[in-house]
Amino acid sequence: MTLISVVVPCYNEQDSLPIFFAELTRVAANMRTRWSSLEFEAVFVDDGSSDSTLEVMKHLATSSNIIVRWLSFSRNFGKESSLYAGLEHSHGDYVATMDADMQDPPSLLPEMYEILQNGEYDNVATCRTTRKGEPPIRSWFARRFYRLINHISKTDIVDGARDFRLMKRSMVDAILKMREYNRFSKGIYGWVGFNTKWIAYKNVGRVAGQTKWSFFKLFAYALDGIVAFSTAPLVIASLIGMLLCLLAFLLIVLIVIRTLIFGDPVAGWPSMICLIMLLGGLQLLCMGILGQYLAKIYLETKNRPIYIIKEHN
């Protein structure tokens, strides 16, 4: 028997979850007729939803021919924590992670499973071909972000990659070993390595409910990603500092020589103020960058749990 676990983080998905589950059940049945040794397990993680997502999960668990595990967090911990919890509670030889809103179509699962059967790849990842249906400004920032992070980070982070994957157990175990508190999945997948087969599909809108990501949440997530997978900002800050010191030194020499030759007319207050502000600003910026890393270290050393479970079956 081969078990496939499907990990689904859910935050206020009462309307989409039943639709998703119906489709998953259909796909699972199809796959079982083709590969008779397959078993399916759904791992639903309720990320502190305020609607009746948990009730929906409990209901689905009693009325299906797929094993359903559900766990419910004590509050909203974010998608990254839900994914981690789901992976930790999955038992499958293969584990898929997907959204509850049907933006990750379950109908791709047979194709993904088939690819893994060849033995060449350890996981199949998906990326979307278009960013249609997304506000243009968000797409623009997203593209800049991927350009930037791939420049400054050694870890390969793919533009347009979704969190929809099917992985072999060995890869899941590797991911579970990364117990960091500040999680950025796209980087973690890249970091653990393994052979990845990419398949592309068209972006589709969610079936029900609304996206949980505002522009600012995404922006903060992008900053998290940079701090988590690159130390380049620290190097850049030091370089700017060094360049400015050099410049200041040259200017001092220049001013001393000029004063010796032409005397000392008191002038240049405005430029002085400008310079003071510029330098003050740069110092604060660099301290801010340092602070970002320090804050992450602080949070990591506290060793807090990534999530807290209130209820589970």
Query: Residues in the site for ligand UDP, rule: CB under 6 A?
Result: 9-11, 13, 47, 76, 78-79, 82, 99-101, 103, 206, 211-213
28 vs 45 by CB, closer to ligand UDP: 45
* Residue 153 binds Mg ion, judged by CB under 5 A: no
Task: By CB under 5 A, name the one of 16, 90, 103, 230 that touches Mg ion.
Answer: 103
Beta bridge partners of 68: 42
* Residue 104 binds Mg ion, judged by CB under 5 A: no
DSSP-based three-state secondary structure for 77: coil
Count helices and strands in the chain by DSSP H and E runs: 10, 8
Q: Give the one entry of ligand UDP, Mg ion, none that residue 106 binds, where binding means its C-beta sits below a cut-off of 5 to 8 angstroms depending on kind.
A: none
How far, in Å, CA of 134 to CA of 205, rounded? 9
* Residue 82 binds Mg ion, judged by CB under 5 A: no
Amino acid at 112: M
CB of 211 to Mg ion, least distance (A): 6
**CA–CA distances in Å: residue 286 to residues 110, 195, 230, 235:** 50, 38, 15, 10
Q: Give the one entry of ligand UDP, Mg ion, none that residue 79 binds, where binding means its C-beta sits below a cut-off of 5 to 8 angstroms depending on kind.
A: ligand UDP
How far, in Å, CA of 284 to CA of 287, rounded? 5
93 vs 180 by CB, closer to ligand UDP: 180
DSSP-based three-state secondary structure for 132: coil
20 vs 121 by CB, closer to Mg ion: 20
**CA–CA distances in Å: residue 274 to residues 54, 213, 264, 269, 278:** 58, 39, 20, 9, 6
77 vs 113 by CB, closer to ligand UDP: 77
101 vs 122 by CB, closer to Mg ion: 101
How far, in Å, CA of 222 to CA of 33, rounded? 42
Q: Give the one entry of Mg ion, ligand UDP, none that residue 122 binds, where binding means its C-beta sits below a cut-off of 5 to 8 angstroms depending on kind.
A: none
Task: By CB under 5 A, name the one of 46, 101, 122, 163 that touches Mg ion.
Answer: 101
Interface region with Mg ion, contact rule CB under 5 A, candidates 94-102, 121-129, 255-263, 300-308: 94-102
How far, in Å, CA of 139 to CA of 88, rounded? 32
Query: What does the binding site for Mg ion look like in residue numbers (CB under 5 A)?
Result: 99, 101, 103, 206
